[in-house]
Amino acid sequence: MVDVILGLQWGDEGKGKIVDYFAPGYDVVARFQGGPNAGHTLYVNGQKVVLHQIPSGIFHADKINLIGNGVVLDPVTLMKECATVASMGVDYKKNLFISQRAHFILPTHRALDKASELQKGTDKIGSTLKGIGPAYMDKTGRNGLRIGDLLDKSFTSQYIKLRLKHQRLLDNYNFQEDISSWEDEFFEAVEMLRSFNIVNGEYFINNQIAQGKRVLAEGAQGSMLDVDFGTFPFVTSSNTITAGVCSGLGIAPQNIKEVFGVSKAYCTRVGGGPFPTELHDETGELIRKTGSEFGSTTGRPRRCGWIDLVALKFACMINGVTQIIMTKADILDALPELKVCHSYSINGVETNEVPFQMNKLDIVPVYESFEGWQCDSSAISTYENLPVKMKEYVQHLNQHLQVPVTHISNGPGRDQIVKA
């Protein structure tokens, strides 16, 4: 049996904490897509930890953690993460496994990412410059190097061949930066990676399922950044939705049971792209400061706005969401009024559908207002004791989305989750 936890917005929904919370009920935690452009923030024994590629179940000693074939892996970042978790007493080599079919992010991928974004000028999409896009482009272009290639004696010559191809592209961009230090770090990390548990991922995880093990598939970014269904072209380079679990781990659709969709009680977005409910006022700034809305990977300030039920209902539909987990409800504690977007007005016509090309349209959100609860909810541990106005807000979401909010996160701590 496989359950899924993924984001329903533009990422940064707090998935890491949610995976960590649910992990005790599973045997395997598996990451199925994305790369180190994602950062899952956890608080372990009061200490903040940001994981970029290692699954969020790593702090549970009895859990198997798998980096699936759908992930693009930066070995340098991975080694830094491993050093962090090891300093906290985690024996990562015991319970961390990596699929042979996962693709490498090469130093030249990072260079290409940077060169491409610089050339776009004001048309930047807001890339994290981690090399994600170029790595996925090489994957679909059948040029990439995979983790399993480490077992081949020709690995270095394969890298050199690909580097020459990338250098021609970099020359076209007139990219002058010396990346030799990046390459030194890369090959040092690659040598360390040889000692890891590198497995045939699809057989590995299907054997776990056949043995009756419970698998939790962990997504990165959010549904509105999906390369097919997100706000294209301001999206990531992988499938962030439930369908990506099948292609990113090598499992059949019928194995998927529960789909836990994670959504903030409001909305945020990092980088460029359409964001219909974005707030450019004091309320938006208050949410940003109160919620510490700065990227866990880049530190960039996040754009903040009201919850968007048009986009949220769309995300529930394409993912087959069975339960919603609402995070950061406590960030709205002080606000006297809350707004919820139920529809979009486009050229005077109201619609409940996410349009084809959001960035080419003037979208005006249509709101309904709610009275805020204006009290501290962070210490409350039962649904019955939550503020009445918060429960009304949650019940409204349940009715509109036709998917129940089953858990409410009211703080960063592991224990700050209320079952609805």
Catalytically active residues are 12, 40
| CB-based contact 90:59 (threshold 8 Å) | yes
> What is the phi/psi pair of residue 229, to 5°?
-110, 0
Query: Please, which residues bridge with residue 231 across strands?
Result: none
Helices 180-193 & 75-87 angle (0-180, nearest 10):
60
Strands 28-31 and 2-7: unpaired
| CB-based contact 324:382 (threshold 8 Å) | no
Sign of the alpha-carbon torsion through 93, 97, 101, 107: negative
The whole-angstrom separation of Cα 146 and Cα 222 is: 25
Chain centroid offset of residue 285 CA: 23
Q: Which residues, other chains included, contact 62 with Cβ-Cβ below 8 Å and sequence gap of 6+? A: 95
Q: Which residues, other chains included, contact 115 with Cβ-Cβ below 8 Å and sequence gap of 6+? A: 169, 170, 173, 175
Distances (CA, A) of 68 to 161, 184, 244, 360: 26, 26, 11, 35
Q: Which helix (H) or strand (E) holds 340?
A: strand 337-346
> What is the phi/psi pair of residue 199, to 5°?
-130, 165
Q: Which residues, other chains included, contact 237 with Cβ-Cβ below 8 Å and sequence gap of 6+? A: 132, 133, 135, 136, 137, 227
